[in-house]
Amino acid sequence: MTATLRAGVMGWPVSHSLSPRLHGHWLARYRIDGSYEAIAVEPDGLAGALSRLADEGFRGVNLTVPHKEAAVALVDTVDETARRIGAINTVVVEDETLAGSNTDAFGFIENLRDYVSEAAMSEWAARPVTVLGAGGAARAVCTALLDNGANDIRLVNRTAARAAALAETLPGLANYATICAWADRTDALRDAALLVNTTVLGMTGQAPLDLDLEKLPGDATVNDIVYVPLETGLLAQARRRGNRTVDGLGMLLHQARPGFRAWFGVDPAVDEDLRQAVLAGL
Ligand code: ATR
């Protein structure tokens, strides 16, 4: 008899993570004898928890808040994207070693691919793209944009110094980024082909995002990576004025694919069934 394949997500807290529901849906759908567990790990327990993975029969884990950055120093190999982003969200046990990667940039772009034509995506190289926020999510989004041809990225953040730090520390970004003051955020929408919100504004329990889309071209795509609620105020405004809108749930679903494939051997589908299964957990 073969052993059940084990994987999971480490976070602190971890109980609200949607990953067990997401991977659980795929395990059932592909009839894989596997488990995906929520593992509560305190920050100072991360090194120990990672070091025990192989002995405990884990194929690997996802990492969520607050472990993503600390893990970079705790695994044996770090892939190029994770090194650029400075954070790991996926760990694969390979023989006795731990391989760390970051699939957030992949998830971001693969989700957009589900909604935006290749022709529209090629506009990102010809026109400005506007990114709101300068936290960890913005690092992943900017990495994906750079890798997909964007060469005029407007960084808009409440704390301008943080946007400047992002531009300086993300390899390659400084050449292609303009820092825009938060007070000038409506002007930062002019001519843009894509607007991405990576801030927490508009999330349930957070302040609304106060942004008038009047200056955004009608053919621009608007992507909010917030997914609670699924249709944020930003997306509702964009939809009403006829912009293409992309919600944040798909990024979460797509970022999970590489881990599932590495641990369980199947590249799983992101489809409406999965969306509904995960939405039921919100
Ligand atoms: P993550 O790593 O998930 O991206 P984060 O690092 O906490 O999260 O970043 C949150 C983002 O939301 C930041 O860009 C933050 O702006 P600051 O860098 O100025 O803090 C932004 N944000 C949070 N609350 C905000 C508010 N009230 N107004 C404007 N931006 C806000």
Q: Is residue 89 lining ligand 1, measured as CB closer than 6 Å?
A: no
User: Confidence class of residue 2 from pLDDT cuts 50, 70 and 90?
Assistant: low
Q: Is residue 201 lining ligand 1, measured as CB closer than 6 Å?
A: yes
Helix axes 257-264, 19-29, angle to 10 degrees: 50
User: Residue 259: is its pLDDT beyond 90?
Assistant: yes
Residue 89 to residue 199: CA distance in whole angstroms:
19
**Catalytic residue (choose from 68, 139, 185, 244):** 68
Topology, domain 106-250: Rossmann fold (3.40.50)
Expressed in angstroms and rounded, the spacing between residue 199 Cα and the centre of ligand 1 is: 5
Expressed in angstroms and rounded, the spacing between residue 79 Cα and the centre of ligand 1 is: 26
Is 106-250 in the same CATH topology as 5-102+256-279?
A: yes
- Which pair of structure tokens corresponds to residue 71? 């893990």
Residue 139 contacts residue 86 (beta carbons within 8 Å): yes
Q: Is residue 255 lining ligand 1, measured as CB closer than 6 Å?
A: no
Q: Is residue 207 lining ligand 1, measured as CB closer than 6 Å?
A: yes
Q: Which CATH number fits domain 5-102+256-279: 3.40.50.10860, 3.65.10.10, 1.20.1630.10, 3.30.420.130?
A: 3.40.50.10860
pTM attached to this predicted model: 0.97
In the chain, domain spans: 5-102+256-279, 106-250
User: For residue range 188-211, what is the model confidence (pLDDT) as tens digits?
Assistant: 999 999 999 999 999 999 999 999
User: For residue range 124-162, what is the model confidence (pLDDT) as tens digits?
Assistant: 999 999 999 999 999 999 999 999 999 999 999 999 999
